[in-house]
Each structure stands twice: as C-alpha cells, then as structure tokens.
Amino acid sequence: MLQLLAGDIGGTKTILRLVQADSTADSAQETLYEQRFVSSDYTDLVPMVKDFLATAPVSAQPQAACFAIAGPVIDNRSQLTNLAWLLSGDRIADELDLKVVELINDFAAVGYGVLGLKSEDVVTLQTGDVHPDAPIAIIGAGTGLGQGFLINRNGHYQVFPSEGGHVDFAPRSELEFQLRQYLLEKHSISRVSVERVVSGQGIISIYQFLRDRDFATESKELAEIVSNWERGAGKRSELPDPAAAISGAATTDRTAERTMEIFIDAYGAAAGDLALMLLPYGGLYVAGGVTAKNMPLIRDGSFLSAFGHKGRMSPLLEDVPVHLVTNQSVGLIGAAVRAGQIA
C-alpha cells in the first residue's frame, strides 16, 4: 500500500489530505487524514505540511505528493498569485524527504479529479454512449472559465490544460449581440471572450446589462449588494458576492431569473463548442464552483438543449455523456490521483 499526500493550495486557505492506495495508479483511495489551514498563517508550504504530518492520527510516511496551485505552474515551480510563496516541487521533496512532489494547476487537478469521482459526486444530464478510449473533456465556470481534456495513454489518463475560456464569445441571439456590445463599451475593449459571460463575473455582467437597460424593476436587496460591490473595487473580497446573491434570487427576482437563464444558456453552448472540438465520448464533466452551487438551475434549465444545439453537427453530441460535478473537493481528489500516478 502507498501513502500519498495531496493539497489544494489557495491564497486564502489550504487543504491537505493524506490518503492510502494500492500500488496501481488511478486506483481507489482511502482518506486517512485531512486538515484545513489559513494559508497566510505560514511563510511557506513546507512548515505547514510538517505540522500536518506531525498531527496526523496515523503514522504518516507519504511516498509522493501532488499540490494543486491556484495559479500558473511552469517547470514544477509556481509563484502564487495571492500569496508570497515561491514553490518548487524539487525543493519541497528535498525538505520533506519525499521521493517526488509535483505541482499542478488547480484546473488540471480537476481533470485528474474526475477519474476519482463516485456516482454520488455527479449528476448525469445525458447518459450518452461511453467509449473507454475516447477523450474526456472538462469545463468549469468559477472565477474564470477553465477548460481542458484527458487522453488515455497506455491505460492511464494524462490531463492537458487549455485556454479555451478565452476564445471569442459568439452571440446566438439579438439579446446576446446586445450583451456583447454592452461589454465592449463598458470595458473599452475590442473583443469579448466567452469567460466574460460564462463565469462568476459573467453572472454579474449579465445582471448589470439587464439592469442598465431597465429589463425589470430592481429589487432593493440586490441593488444594494451589486452597487456596493461596484463602488468597493479596493475591498471586494470583504463584500457579499453579487454572483451568489443573483443566483440565489433567481426564483424570486425577475432580473436575477433572466440573468441565470442567459448565463446557463451560454454555459451550455460553450460546453457544446468544447465537445465539438474534442468529441469526448469518454464523458464531458462540468465542474467549477458556479456549477456545484447552481446545480438545480443548470440541471433543470436550458444547459443541455444549448449544449446540443449545433445545427447539422447536433447528432454528434447526442452520444456524449454529460455530467455535472457536485463534489467541490474534486481538485483535491485529483491531486491525490496524480500523486498515485507519479508515486
């Protein structure tokens, strides 16, 4: 049996997990110990991991570790965006006496994480026709719009990231053309990426668009939350999240309801575009914080119809299995899966 160390490293919080698995990569894993830390309480990851291992209720002797990083990873090194940590997998391995340590981007971790999900961790929108050797696609709206894919190589999957969230937003209706023009003018930009619409920020932008064109009477509560956020650019992290407030009001407020309808339709269309590019008959997984927090709206809304609305190519997407990921620890699961692969 192997002991593996996994971590989800963020500017605000870090979650570490010690798991046990057999010697087969991608095998089922048992969580032995997990702990959450305030990232800013430490000057580096190494002392945090030492504290974690020292307090584990079992004898902790991991053979390998993988850490998912909320930021870019180049040559197994990362300078965290919102934390004064410069991490190197080789340095961490030396200081913790581990055989191997790998740093991966947090959305790449989501890619590995879908390999470790259980049936209760997903809601299936479309069963499709699974081809075991076909690619697997991942898409996830959160702060931005992550996209990537997995390829089966010699019986094991490898994750490939992409910057697909930054492709052009393609309006499909007069209202979406108006939304695109609104964003161009509001931000003084020359193009609109799909991420500006399909993300947490996108939910806010769609709401602002509808509000500014007097779509419906704005509720006092939402008006206050959104206007406070608009005025508080320097301290937005301390304010209520407008995207969460808007989605939470989608069943009671007409502007919020229409916002989420536009968002979910655009989200499904973006997922369908990714599916056309990859033909992921191994499955398409829709992850990200926005998905997990709005699963009923996405499940019952127009996501799947927009996904499959691709003209003469629509029949190709009918066999793509489509799953909503409800387990928000999928990145941590993925870091553990990857640790097992490299052990």
Lowest mean per-residue pLDDT among 58-62, 153-157, 293-297: 153-157
Q: Where are the domains of the chain?
A: 2-117+328-342, 165-325
What's residue 339's pLDDT? 94
What's residue 1's pLDDT? 81
What average pLDDT does range 175-195 have in this prediction?
Answer: 97
- A 10 A CB-CB count for 213 gives 11
| For residue 283, pLDDT beyond 90 | yes
What's residue 256's pLDDT? 97
- In this prediction, residue 24 has a pLDDT band, given cuts at 50, 70 and 90, of low
What average pLDDT does range 275-292 have in this prediction?
Answer: 96
Across the chain, the runs of DSSP E, i.e. the strands, are: 2-9, 13-21, 29-38, 64-69, 77-79, 86-88, 100-105, 122-126, 136-141, 145-153, 156-162, 284-287, 322-325
- In this prediction, residue 26 has a pLDDT band, given cuts at 50, 70 and 90, of low
- In this prediction, residue 236 has a pLDDT band, given cuts at 50, 70 and 90, of confident
Strands 145-153 and 136-141: antiparallel
| For residue 313, pLDDT beyond 80 | yes
214-231 pLDDT per residue, tens: 998 889 999 999 999 998
Give 158's strand partners. 151
CATH topology assigned to domain 2-117+328-342: Nucleotidyltransferase; domain 5 (3.30.420)
Lowest mean per-residue pLDDT among 25-29, 176-180, 194-198, 261-265: 25-29
Tokens representing 169 are: 């937003």
141-182 pLDDT per residue, tens: 988 999 999 999 888 899 998 889 999 999 999 999 999 999
What's residue 199's pLDDT? 95
What's residue 23's pLDDT? 62
Question: Which one of 3.40.50.720, 1.20.1510.10, 3.40.367.20, 2.120.10.30 gives the CATH number of domain 165-325?
Answer: 3.40.367.20
- A 10 A CB-CB count for 38 gives 10
| For residue 252, pLDDT beyond 60 | yes
Find the helix or strand (DSSP H, E) in which 208 lies: helix 200-212
pTM: 0.91
What average pLDDT does range 279-298 have in this prediction?
Answer: 95
| For residue 124, pLDDT beyond 90 | yes
- In this prediction, residue 276 has a pLDDT band, given cuts at 50, 70 and 90, of very high
Find the helix or strand (DSSP H, E) in which 292 lies: helix 289-293
What average pLDDT does range 81-104 have in this prediction?
Answer: 93
What's residue 265's pLDDT? 98
